[in-house]
Amino acid sequence: MSKNKTVNGSETTHSDINTNSQIIIKDLWKVFGRDSKRVLGKKYRALGKEEIQKKTGCVIGLREINLEIKKGEFYILMGLSGSGKSTLIRNLIRLVKPTSGSIVIDEKNLTKMNNEELLNFRRETFGMVFQHYGLLPHLTVLDNAAYGLKVRGISKEDRYIKAKEVLETVGLKGWEDYYPGSLSGGMQQRVGLARALANDPEILLMDEPFSGLDPLIKRQMQDELIELQDKMQKTIIFVTHDLHEALKLGDRIAILRNGKVVQVGTPEEIVTKPVDDYVQEFVRDASPAKVITAGTIMEPAKIILYAWEGPKTALTLLRKNKRRAAFIVDKSHRLLGVAQEDKLEELLNKPEKVEKIPESALRRVPSVGPDTILEDMFSIVTENQYPVPVVDADNKFLGVVTTDQIFESITPMGGEDNV
């Protein structure tokens, strides 16, 4: 998975300033209209979007945007129509020119480049996928996919080799000679994606790419994009107004309102801690069970038994804590299973002395990883009498999640805040 929702790992995505950011946007403003710079002066800049429009005739596209996007990050821009999502993307590829502020990508300051440098940088760095596909109807699928390479002056032979390769990547092998008009919406958008990927862009910009598709096709395209991103590890900036899409795809989400970023966070942060009513309204229908992970809510196990200490010690510990069973680990803290009181007694009653508790005497229980979302744990907690153990990739025991914890954390706004 490309998604990184680990909350106890060092790679946790936060809205903190991060020095290894690939894209750094500082104090970016875009004002549309005549003499737009005057809007940035003291007299107007603090006013609301509507007031500015009334007084100056200028439209605020973006105001005071500060964002940092990491290499390989799947970054979502979300907000109501007119909130500035497309304008932000267009500023990045300089289809529109910022009114003020700076954009630095791969340590290069776009706001300082001349037109030729910008054009080259744009072609080398970005791939763009639009909502309405943007395919050329008189060109075949192959020529559409190869179009960006043609613009860059790549020979026909070379661009066809590359275009065929990316068409295969997006599942369109065999469709090279068709025209876009004979393809379904989903397939046309695959061509759009293939064309963007053919350039081998560092950064993929996708402006509501799946908004026009039927729900089932949309879901399928999302799944394929996740799989593709797992292999490609590109930086993706993806615009959507579909919360579920944002939660499913995004490592981080920035929410825009009237040209301003009102919140940046992981899907989990956005759903569980919306900063204001606007964000709250967005996430109203979101199910916390789809974003909260085992790693976030797990707690340390009350007691842990150690297999090498033998059945006598284990039994003593259990009884001291008034329990009939507990999780048991080996010397590397790997989870072995659950040791039950009666099984330990059997071991003690054996004629020969048992030094170390054998795995055959333990009960195996299902475990989950720290990234497992709560929704995927429902079936386990309802079938299982024990808390669910959380283990890392090496099966090291990290903590436990109880049924109560799960239900508490998916109850809207949590427990005590709501009294």
Ligand X SMILES: Nc1ncnc2c1ncn2[C@@H]1O[C@H](COP(=O)(O)OP(=O)(O)O)[C@@H](O)[C@H]1O
* Binding positions for ligand X, rule: CB under 6 A: 32, 59, 61, 79, 81-87
Least distance to ligand X, CB of residue 241, Å: 8
Which among Mg ion, ligand X, none contacts residue 79 (Cβ within 5 to 8 A by kind)? ligand X
CA distance linking residue 60 with residue 40, whole number of Å: 10
CB 149 within 8 A of CB 227: no
Nearer to ligand X, 83 or 199 (CB): 83
E strand spans, 44-94: 59-70, 74-79
Least distance to Mg ion, CB of residue 234, Å: 21
Q: Is 81 helix (H, G, I), strand (E, B) or coil?
A: coil
Which among ligand X, Mg ion, none contacts residue 101 (Cβ within 5 to 8 A by kind)? none
Least distance to Mg ion, CB of residue 207, Å: 6
Nearest to 74 by CA among 124, 128, 13, 134: 13
Which among ligand X, Mg ion, none contacts residue 22 (Cβ within 5 to 8 A by kind)? none
Nearer to Mg ion, 86 or 405 (CB): 86
Q: Is 78 helix (H, G, I), strand (E, B) or coil?
A: strand
Which among Mg ion, ligand X, none contacts residue 72 (Cβ within 5 to 8 A by kind)? none
Alpha carbon 321 to its chain's center: 42
Least distance to Mg ion, CB of residue 50, Å: 19
Nearer to ligand X, 13 or 91 (CB): 91
Nearer to Mg ion, 86 or 372 (CB): 86
Nearer to ligand X, 86 or 144 (CB): 86
Q: To which residue do tokens 């990508």 refer?
A: 105
Least distance to ligand X, CB of residue 107, Å: 27
Q: To which residue do tokens 């300051």 refer?
A: 109
Tell me which H or E stretch contains 398. Answer: strand 397-401
Tell me which H or E stretch contains 404. Answer: helix 403-410
Instruction: Classify burial at 32, counting beta carbons within 10 Å of its beta carbon; exposed 0-12, middle 13-18, buried 19 or more.
Output: middle
CA distance linking residue 374 with residue 404, whole number of Å: 12
Least distance to Mg ion, CB of residue 85, Å: 5
Q: Any alpha helices (H) in 284-398, and if so which ranges?
A: 294-297, 310-320, 341-348, 378-383
Which among ligand X, Mg ion, none contacts residue 209 (Cβ within 5 to 8 A by kind)? none
Nearer to ligand X, 75 or 306 (CB): 75
Site residues (vs Mg ion, CB under 5 A): 86
